[in-house]
Amino acid sequence: MPKYQSLQDIQSAIQQERSSCTQVVEYYLGRIREQEHLNAYVEVYEQEVLEQAEALDQRFHEDPASVGRLFGMVLSLKDVICHKNHGVTAGSKILAGFESLYSATAVQRLLEEDAIIIGRVNCDEFAMGSTNETSVYGPVRNAANPGAVPGGSSGGSAVAVQADTCLASLGSDTGGSVRQPAALCGVIGLKPTYGRVSRYGLLAYGSSFDQIGVLSHSVQDAALLLEIMAGHDDFDATASRRAVPEFSAMLNHEETARVAYLQAALDHPGLDPEIRQATLAYIEKLRAEGHTVEPVDFELLDYLIPAYYVLTTAEASSNLARYDGVRYGHRSEEAHNLLKTYKKSRTEGFGREVKRRIMLGTFVLSAGFYDAYYSQAQRARRLIHDRTLELLEQYDFLLSPVAPTTAWKLGESLEDPVAMYLADIFTVQANMAGTPAIAFPAGTHSNGLPVGLQLMAGKFEEAKLLGFAHRLMAESGL
């Protein structure tokens, strides 16, 4: 069976009787078994999805019009997104054995269009990490080089798509957790505008940053999945009431674009020379095609990481207070009184990186340091937000690398968390400003690993962003 690049390919094969939904599912289940060494999957719903596929084939045979728009779409879910009556553990011992009582709004909307969820995939614990090495289930390995990390925190989602074990995957993006692994694994990674997709059913890390995103082989599939997931939700007050465009029908971007790139990003000493060269080459390619591409100043680049980690750790320390060993999840065997229940259960249940971020967040919110850290970070966020939107009023898109290097070796950053945090330097801007961004493949490094680039657009301008990205992918033959 050929590798499918889009839902359109799968649906065409089924309509022409060259395949069936059941055969597609069987193919992906076989791929999961073949790629088990990559450790992408936490749980596979084998019997359930086979039964679902057979039922869908029967419905399609009886009445082709009766199936939903996602008939044939095989998805995986990052282990921070709730799926009713299925486990969700955020890659953490603290939630061992927990099953969700409801589905995330995004998941429910996809299921209503007959998507098939084949399993849940590995991730950094509570989405805290840039390498997918902090999970209680062990590290995920990059399919391009199993000795390298896939990026994080949605590394399982990226590898699941990269290794052809599903057509697309849902991840979450707090500071680049969809786009960075997408770039390191050579797939598409879309982070929508904050509020475009409901966060109901997404286990919270940083509530003012988190957003459900899509990893896929094609921009078309990312557009369709976003179109179905997006929209107002009574269960999430931050979900936008804006009308949702028909993104999948708006991929014809024919006009020339005004594109800016951050000169400070390309001049940054931590940027790999080959990635810098690939970015410059892409800039010249865009100019040759008639687009206006200009350097712009962004004097706040070095403030992105400090402000981001102060704010997200502060929000994490609050959000993760609910995991206390009392109501659900891990409870220590030494929990003989209330204080020991809290202390022992959380100490045993949380991993090293999560505990580090909880302590950092508690510190910056403490009475003696709130003004020095948290308040200052909020001011920095406002400046970053305003400057980013100012640029996006002058230009259609901001172009940048996604990560300063290609995927590094497993274990390299575990003893140096600052190095791991700096890997987010080019992605956190979109989360700080709440704007949409997409990562897309841009070639291969001399070390054989994928290189990705990123486009950002103005708030709620996903249609323009997806259309331009689709055009660039088509022109590149990808």
8 A C-beta contact, residue 253 and residue 461: no
Beta bridge partners of 58: none
User: What is the per-residue DSSP string for 317-358?
Assistant: HHHGGG-SSSSSS---TT--SHHHHHHHHHHHHS-HHHHHHH
For residue 444, the tally of other CB atoms under 10 A from its CB is 15
Q: 7-15 and 219-229 are packed helices; what angle lies between their axes, rounded to 10 degrees?
A: 90
Q: Which of 90, 84, 80, 103 is nearest to 211 (CA)?
A: 80
| Conformation bin of residue 389: beta by default, left when phi > 0, alpha when psi is -120 to 50 | alpha
CA-to-CA distance for 89 and 106, rounded, in angstroms?
18
Instruction: Write out the catalytic residue numbers.
Output: 78, 153, 177
CA-to-CA distance for 244 and 364, rounded, in angstroms?
38
- Phi, psi (5° rounding) for residue 409? -70, 150
Beta strands (DSSP E) in 70-135 are 74-78, 116-121
8 A C-beta contact, residue 428 and residue 308: yes
Q: Which of 476, 464, 474 is nearest to 223 (CA)?
A: 464
8 A C-beta contact, residue 355 and residue 120: no
With 0-12 CB in 10 A as exposed, 13-18 as middle and 19+ as buried, what is 16? exposed
8 A C-beta contact, residue 64 and residue 97: no
For residue 294, give the H/E element and its range: strand 292-296
In the chain, the amino acid numbered 249 is A
Residue 391 CA, chain-centre distance (Å), reads 24
Start-to-end C-alpha separation, the chain: 20
CA-to-CA distance for 291 and 12, rounded, in angstroms?
34
Contacts of 468 (CB under 8 A, 6+ apart): 253, 257, 396, 397, 455
CA-to-CA distance for 142 and 459, rounded, in angstroms?
32
Please report where in the chains the tokens 């709440």 appear, as a residue. Answer: 434
